Chain A
Amino acid sequence: AAGVIQSPRHLIKEKRETATLKCYPIPRHDTVYWYQQGPGQDPQFLISFYEKMQSDKGSIPDRFSAQQFSDYHSELNMSSLELGDSALYFCASSRSGTEQFFGPGTRLTVL
């Protein structure tokens, strides 16, 4: 069965640079969620989109923005990167009213 696809899987950036993470949800899923997971921590909700509209917002820094496109894929844009942004970033998708399925994650390292 098709799963959530995230790219890139690994990303290394310098401080103050920008990064773009991409998420391709499971076909026919209309909702996308972004989570940030620091080392040894639980996933923290950042933001979600339903039918291309922002549906909920969590602890997402103002330096980050995200959107969901007409083909339902989503991108998380991160600017002015800080060392503390180093983490695993997960995307999850669901079909409204059903379970969330997580992607393999993007490991972001900020040097």
Chain B
Amino acid sequence: SQQGEEDPQALSIQEGENATMNCSYKTSINNLQWYRQNSGRGLVHLILIRSNEREKHSGRLRVTLDTSKKSSSLLITASRAADTASYFCATGFKGGSEKLVFGKGTKLTVNP
């Protein structure tokens, strides 16, 4: 399977703490993307990191990509209760495919 796998499946932290979520995949990729989903809603795109990039920042978000280990991490710093959501990684593959393959997600709960 080419599916990404997030780790952990669930994470509960206190407001102000950092949250780290990991994603592993199995095949060569063109890019890796992180999405957020609030309960019962659609997905919101957070960050896209290309296969030739190692790290990317956006506000309180930091994404790393290690293609040798086929893994990525999403770090949310100084978390807020509003960050409570499910976070998915999705991989886009080489060879021109436009499809994304989503992992199972990490459910993050930030307690106030």
Do A and B originate from a single complex?
no
